[in-house]
Structure 1
Amino acid sequence: MIIGIVAVLLVVAAALGFILSGNDTPAGQPGTVVVSGPTAASAITEKITHNVVIEVENYGTINAVLYGEAAPITVENFVKLANEGFYDGLTFHRIISGFMIQGGDPKGNGTGGSSETIKGEFAQNGVSNPISHQRGVLSMARSSMPDSASSQFFIMHDAAPHLNGAYAAFGCVTEGIEVVDAICQNTPVTDGNGTVQKANQPIITSIRVTESAGE
């Protein structure tokens, strides 16, 4: 009986923490899932507060916008880290084709982050967030603890409705989604959890953020 209870608890813990710790995610190997088409940016009506330029070595440029009114704490944290140069030289360490690419970890293995954690701005944590996890959406990775997000973020390769209300979405790619496609298709992973060996991790050259013209 005790063994059965422990097993159930382990399964629940894995399901809660899958983005950051890497459990309970769709299997993915490079080239197995082909996704194309525009991002969800044109369908998102939230106010744009910032513009983002993400440079990825050997892949190109990803342009995105941030929604600072929909997720103010998350956007403020991301902008602060970007302006400090925190992300420069870090990598995308976890890549699941047809799902997402995850980066922003100084350890490069999914266990690291910045010196501060922030409140999770999503419905399961008592915070309204209207942004759904569609293709191109930026969202924050976290552990099983709702207020554990710090620096790790992910970009949706394709829609994942099961993440809605459980993770803090805060932006969306407007140009350069083909860079995400290329990363998913060309980066070798070691398992179905999207683990990428250090030597193969795409490098984030820089992330630069500016306020939008509407600010």
Structure 2
Amino acid sequence: MFKSVFKKTTALLLAAICTVSFAAGCSKSETSESTGKPKVQIEMENGDKMVFELYPEFAPETVNNFVSLAESGFYDGLTFHRIIKNFMIQGGDPKGDGTGDSGKTIKGEFSGNGFEQNTLKHTKGVISMARSQDPDSASCQFFIMHGDTASLDGQYAAFGKLISGEDILDKIADTPVKANSLTGEESVPTETVKIKTITVLSK
């Protein structure tokens, strides 16, 4: 009798624990998936993946431009053509040498260009738009921070943050590089670092 009651009590306790754990797990999952922020995934040719959360409340036109290019397949097969470990990796250039664009430019959404609502800092994992000296020259090229660089804050349109795949970012940043023949900067990958596709996971 005692053994029977003990077994039933134990079974009920286990069931209760499992139910609570399952509910807690669902709650945590729903919280992490219900931020309402757009998310994109950069998948590399070798299958490596990085996921980013985008912040239209800080840089709305920048986010819309990036999402639109990704959805159109613009980034498929392009490369990270500029890599500086502990600083950033840069990609999204159809020419692969830092001179290409998408045929369209957007407003520079950063405080140095009079766009005060963008307060995102250029810390490791932040994704931001590359540009020329013209503050409104951003087009399709982007860079992902591999270190914290405060001097970029307010000067470039940061628009998202890495939320999964920091090991992949580190791996890309470890790619051997050589000097750029025009600038002398040690940043040209000695092997092709190709993006397979950029997928919009949610909008």
TM-score (norm. length: structure 1): 0.73
Aligned-partner SS, 1:200: coil
Corresponding residue for residue 203 of structure 1: 194
Number of aligned positions between the proteins: 165
Aligned-partner SS, 2:52: strand
Aligned-partner SS, 1:196: strand
Q: What percentage of aligned pairs have identical amino acids?
A: 52
Corresponding residue for residue 178 of structure 1: 167
Q: Which runs of 4+ in 1 moved over 2 A?
A: 186-195
1:97 touches 1:185 (CA, 8 Å); kept in 2? yes
Alignment of 1:98-109 (within 5 A): 98-109=86-97
How many Å apart are 1:48 and its aligned residue?
Answer: 5.2
Q: Are residues 186 and 71 of structure 1, via their aligned partners in 2, closer, same or farther at CA, if it must alter by over 3 Å?
A: same
1:187 touches 1:201 (CA, 8 Å); kept in 2? no
Pair 1:149 & 2:138 matched: yes
Corresponding residue for residue 73 of structure 2: 85
Aligned-partner SS, 2:167: helix
Pair 1:76 & 2:76 matched: no
How many Å apart are 1:210 and its aligned residue?
Answer: 2.9
Measure the CA separation in 2 of the matches of 1:63 and 1:187.
24
Q: Deviations over 1:70-124 (max 9, x none)?
A: 1000000000000000000000000000100000000000000101000000011
Letter in 2 for 1:70: F
Alignment of 1:11-160 (within 5 A): 49-58=37-46, 60-128=48-116, 129-160=118-149
Letter in 1 for 2:105: T
Unpaired segments ≥5 residues, structure 1: 1-46
2:175 touches 2:191 (CA, 8 Å); kept in 1? no
Q: Are residues 185 and 59 of structure 1, via their aligned partners in 2, closer, same or farther at CA, if it must alter by over 3 Å?
A: farther
Letter in 1 for 2:187: T
Structure (1 or 2) with the larger CA radius of gyration: 2
Corresponding residue for residue 193 of structure 1: 185
Richer in helix (by share): 2
Corresponding residue for residue 157 of structure 2: 168
Q: Deviations over 1:158-178 (max 9, x none)?
A: 110000000000001001011
Unpaired segments ≥5 residues, structure 2: 1-34
Q: Deviations over 1:117-166 (max 9, x none)?
A: 00000011000211100000000000000000000000000110000000
How many Å apart are 1:194 and its aligned residue?
Answer: 4.0
2:83 touches 2:175 (CA, 8 Å); kept in 1? no
How many Å apart are 1:195 and its aligned residue?
Answer: 3.4
Over the aligned positions, Cα root-mean-square deviation in angstroms equals 1.6
